[in-house]
Amino acid sequence: MEREHFSKHFDAELNEIRTKLLEMGGKVEQMIANAMKSLVERDSELAEQTIRFDHQINALEMEIDEKCLEVLARRQPAARDLRFVTLALKIVTDLERIGDQCANICKRALELNQEPVLKPYIDLPRMAQAASTMVKESLDAFVRGDDALAIKVCKNDEQVDDLNVQIQRELLTFMLEDPGTISRAIKVTYVSKCLERIADHATNVAEMVIFMIPLHSLGHRASPSTWKFAIVALHNLLECIIAPRTKQSIIK
């Protein structure tokens, strides 16, 4: 009876973490939409509201961090539950950084809104929509443990990268033809780079989802793509661990 009570309470705590993560993800998606709307519609008030809203994302990050650490300390989870909690700690960091990128976009929007429009914003909203979808799907993949959806997110990152390159080239042409556009073009370039980084953070989450799912449990479902992205995810994780140590040894 006591063990059953413990299990129910533990499941409730894990569900609370899931719920908070989805709440944080939803707010981040709204920030992406509002950041782009403030730029396209030249809405400086919305830009300022979105910058202030970033504090809510920071608060949620701290709340989820504390809950995860509490679960680790009190429940000592194992196997899949341990992977879920530890990866949740990493994912909130990516979500918080996405919020920071949205705030950065709004800061550039405040500046661009005071100047004549350089060009119609067509590709930037497409980038924002693609990046926002990647964020949503990466979190859905995490909560459901869906490796196929996580792989889809990783592949979709190429679409955002291609749009970023296209925008950079177009803006370079503007600057070469008219030096008077350089200041505005650099700011738009910065916005494009922020959106590309948002997609990168979503890819980080998707890669962690692939790492979270034990490959032996995939069995015959493990396609070459699954193995490929699992190896990439493991490589990136090892880089995070080994790189600082390598840097220290070089310094010594």
Q: With beta carbons less than 8 A apart as the criterion, state whether 42 and 113 touch.
A: yes
Q: What are the tens digits of pLDDT across the range 34-49?
A: 999 999 999 999 999 9
Q: Which amino acid is it at 232?
A: V
Taking residues 101-125, what's their average pLDDT? 94
231 vs 90, residue with greater confidence = 90
Burial class (CB in 10 A: 0-12, 13-18, 19+), 230: buried
Side-chain half-sphere exposure of 47, counting CA atoms within 13 A? 19
Each domain of the chain, given as residue ranges in start order, spans: 2-251
For residue 225, name the pLDDT band (cuts at 50, 70, 90): low
The answer to whether 192 touches 127, Cβ cutoff 8 Å, is yes
148 against 105, higher pLDDT? 105
Residue 142 burial by Cβ neighbours in a 10 Å radius (0-12, 13-18, 19+): buried
Q: Which is it for the CA torsion 42, 48, 49, 54, positive or negative? A: positive
pTM: 0.82
4-13, 19-28, 192-201: least confidently modelled range: 4-13
CATH topology of domain 2-251: Methane Monooxygenase Hydroxylase; Chain G, domain 1 (1.20.58)
pLDDT-derived band at 224 (thresholds 50, 70, 90) equals low
Neighbours of 63 (CB within 10 A): 14
Provide, rounded to the nearest whole percent, the portion of the chain with pLDDT above 90.
61
**Is residue 194 within 8 Å of 164, Cβ to Cβ?**
no
Which bin fits 145, alpha (ψ -120 to 50), beta or left (φ > 0)?
left
Q: Is the confidence at residue 58, as pLDDT, over 50? A: yes
Indicate the range of 5-9, 106-110, 230-234 predicted with least confidence: 230-234
pLDDT over threshold 90, residue 59: yes
